[in-house]
Amino acid sequence: MTEAFAENSFAIPNSIRPQTNGPLIHGLFLLHSRLNHSCIPNSKIPTPGGEIVASFATRDIVAGEEITFCYNSDFECRTRHDRHQALRFVCDCKACLTGTSFQQLSDMRRTLIRGLQYLTLGVDLNRQRQGPTSLLIFDPKLRRAAENFSIPLSARFISNLLVICLLEEEGLLDNFIIERFSPGILQTAAFFETEGNARIARLALTQETWLEKFCMAFRLYGREDAADHDIAERLRKRYGLSGKP
């Protein structure tokens, strides 16, 4: 019973909890607690901002199709094995059907998304650095560059656009994700100081599709920028790594 409640409940936001510093409170909602999970859902339930829980379609839903949402917020970066360990039940969605080419490619895409986010953020999903036995990033020099925020602007820009393309290919791209990634992509493009790089970044953003944006941005691959050092120092200071190369 406890596990069933945990799988079907929603966290109550701090704003309406009697003691904001107390333990998290969860509640069952008559409609949304009946929705099933999918690793490629057709709806999304944002974190409640009050006493009302709302769901939003993330793509067209045909008549008679089951409405599903993803139970965990980081599943876009987790393989089938990791997802099932977290769920404590077996999901049979398209991304979880073993022996299919889509499921195999799905694991590869989600692992790559996780690695790309490590490169740009310097930490893994749990906000921790990669351990010595982790196989997420094999190259120790590249891993250190990510953790010290030494990844150049060109690589950051390309990586973020590639993540969007992979999410789109996986069937996970929606307006919520675009809203989450767009500010960072636009900001990174604005940081370029070398004129040739800035021109390519601006041109990439004018392309119609995300794949076209990525292909245009890929012209920046391997390029250094005059702002690289300054951006790295600012990120180190922001995360308390000032003075660490």
pLDDT at 151: 96
Q: What is the pLDDT of residues 92-133, one digit of tens each?
A: 999 999 999 999 999 999 999 999 999 999 999 888 887 766
3-class secondary structure, 111:
helix
Per-residue pLDDT band at 33 (split at 50, 70, 90)? confident
Give the mean model confidence (pLDDT) for residues 78-105.
Answer: 94
pLDDT at 229: 95
pLDDT at 49: 62
Q: Is the pLDDT of residue 137 over 90?
A: no
Q: Which residue has the tokens 């119609």?
A: 208
pLDDT at 10: 67
Helices 153-170 and 101-121 sit at what angle, rounded to 10 degrees? 150
Per-residue pLDDT band at 149 (split at 50, 70, 90)? very high
Q: Is the pLDDT of residue 47 over 60?
A: yes
Of 3 and 121, the one with more pLDDT: 121
pLDDT at 226: 97
User: Which range (4-8, 82-86, 145-149, 218-222) has the least confidence?
Assistant: 4-8
Give the mean model confidence (pLDDT) for residues 45-60.
Answer: 80
Per-residue pLDDT band at 16 (split at 50, 70, 90)? low
Q: Is the pLDDT of residue 189 over 80?
A: yes
Give the mean model confidence (pLDDT) for residues 8-31.
Answer: 64
Burial tier of 41 (Cβ tally within 10 Å: 0-12, 13-18, 19+): buried
pTM as predicted: 0.87
